[in-house]
Amino acid sequence: MNTLPQKVHLRALGCRLNQSEIDTLARGFVSNGHAITDSPASADKIIINTCAVTQEATRSSRQLIYQMGRANPAAEIVVTGCYAHIAPDEIRGLPGVSHVVDNYAKESLVSIVTGQPLAPAEPFDLEPAAREALIGAGGRTRAFLKVQDGCDRHCTFCVTKVARGAGRSRAIADVIAEAQSLYAAGYREAVLTGVHLGSYGHDLGQPDGLYALIRALLAETDFPRIRLSSLEPWGLPAGFFSLWENPRLCRHLHLPLQSGCDATLKRMVRRTSQREFRALVTEARAAIPDLALATDVIVGFPGETDAEFSQSCAFIAEIGFSGMHIFRYSPRPGTAAVKLPNHVDELTKKRRAEHLQEMAVEGAAAFAGRYLGAVRPILWEAVSGATPEGYINVGYTDNYLRVRCVTPEVLTNTVRPARLLALHPDSGMISGVLA
């Protein structure tokens, strides 16, 4: 294999865990002397971290592979991720694909495609130009920090168990070391990611592992913000939400509900119910003022009747989410739900998804409207454009309100407070002015 310096273009689809893995691969390539490029046309190698959570995700993954091949027919295309794991032969047959790397070998991908042993350099040891490559031309401010992979649950709809395997946690010391290096490289927010984040440490004999990990990150790193990605709504230790007494922990939780109907949840083999989910939300909101609560919902799961969907909608309205990701049920190979009776037709799924999307927009607007007139610290993440008055800076509050502010200066990668003035319903963004 060619071990001369190469230009590498990296792309990820799907979850934040996939983005975290792409960021780690980028650091690996740079540490081995290669360059990251934003342009697929100029790349020697193109790395694609695929998703397979739905049929639409696999379709998007295939389309991206084709797109990258058209953009640069001479590049070697390396495909990894969940779609690559469950359908490697299908992907090997796509034009331009030179390597298919399954999820279990992903940590060795840099060595597999370059023929080099992975260099041990950390981001803070790199030259300034290399640091810029890792942070990205857009000035990325959030680091996705993978702390766990795999899952030991058996939700009947989920292909991730098939594609990712059993739950596996990183040692706290390793997570802390990576977090410290990412902060030194310039990131200002760490987002903890995993397939089943709440199970962190269980495979290491640490039932309160996530609690201990967050405490360690707060004590041993200097990130102004630490955020949790998707967190299954069960198995959290007593007193877990007391961690949010530290203001560096972002007041934003994503608790996947999947359905608000107990009968549907039972067929999904979810470890929650209306009663348990309601109690968890009540506890979280009591402990965390101004909490933004987001969720995932699947519509059209096998056997979901109109009555079950109505129950689900009523419960969703009762909880009052600030954001929802809505998925139409998609049969996935190797999952138990494929064999369930009474599959729902696509037109019904579409209609239900549209109804929930309307609820999602209303819920997000209601949550954002509560903060108009307030002053909130914003981590400014990017510049989206410019006007005669200045740069259009875009960032997020810790409870995940998206804010834009026009200033004469670029605010990227700083935490500056702004007064929130007006909500733009079409975009969900709030206009503000520096306070």
Residue 350 has pLDDT above 60, yes or no: yes
Q: What pLDDT is attached to residue 137?
A: 35
Q: Does residue 106 sit within a domain?
A: yes
Share of the chain above pLDDT 90, in %: 85
**Which CATH number belongs to the domain containing residue 61 in this structure?**
3.40.50.12160
Between residues 157 and 122, which one has the greater pLDDT?
157
**Which CATH number belongs to the domain containing residue 389 in this structure?**
2.40.50.140
| 8-state DSSP, 388 | T
Residue 427 has pLDDT above 90, yes or no: no
Q: Does residue 330 sit within a domain?
A: no
Q: Does residue 85 sit within a domain?
A: yes
Between residues 299 and 28, which one has the greater pLDDT?
299
Q: What pLDDT is attached to residue 54?
A: 92
Distance of alpha carbon 269 from alpha carbon 66, whole angstroms: 36
Q: What pLDDT is attached to residue 133?
A: 47
Query: Which pLDDT band, with edges at 50, 70 and 90, does 3 fall under?
Result: low
Single residue among 123, 154, 188 that ends a domain in this structure: 123
Q: What pLDDT is attached to residue 135?
A: 46
Single residue among 123, 145, 163 that ends a domain in this structure: 123
Nearest of 413, 292, 396 to residue 405 by alpha carbon: 396
Model pLDDT for residues 49-73, shown as the tens digit of each residue: 999 999 999 999 999 999 999 999 9
Q: How many domains does the chain have?
A: 2
Q: Which range among 118-122, 139-143, 215-219 shows the weakest confidence by mean pLDDT?
A: 118-122
Model pLDDT for residues 163-219, shown as the tens digit of each residue: 999 999 999 999 999 999 999 888 999 999 999 999 999 999 999 999 999 999 999
pTM, to two decimals: 0.91
Q: What pLDDT is attached to residue 120?
A: 63
Q: What pLDDT is attached to residue 31?
A: 86
| Sign of the CA dihedral running 423, 427, 428, 433 | negative
Residue 124 has pLDDT above 60, yes or no: no
Q: Does residue 284 sit within a domain?
A: no
Question: Mean per-residue pLDDT for 124-151?
Answer: 65
Q: What pLDDT is attached to residue 5?
A: 86
Distance of alpha carbon 90 from alpha carbon 87, whole angstroms: 5
Single residue among 102, 123, 144 that ends a domain in this structure: 123
SS3 60: helix
Where does residue 1 rank: exposed (0-12), middle (13-18), buried (19+ CB within 10 A)? exposed
Model pLDDT for residues 76-113, shown as the tens digit of each residue: 999 999 999 999 999 999 999 999 999 999 999 999 99
Q: Which domain holds residue 399?
A: 375-434
Q: Token match 């520096």: residue? A: 434
Nearest of 382, 379, 378, 380 to residue 139 by alpha carbon: 382
Q: Does residue 367 sit within a domain?
A: no
Q: Does residue 204 sit within a domain?
A: no
What is the rounded average pLDDT for all residues in the chain? Answer: 92
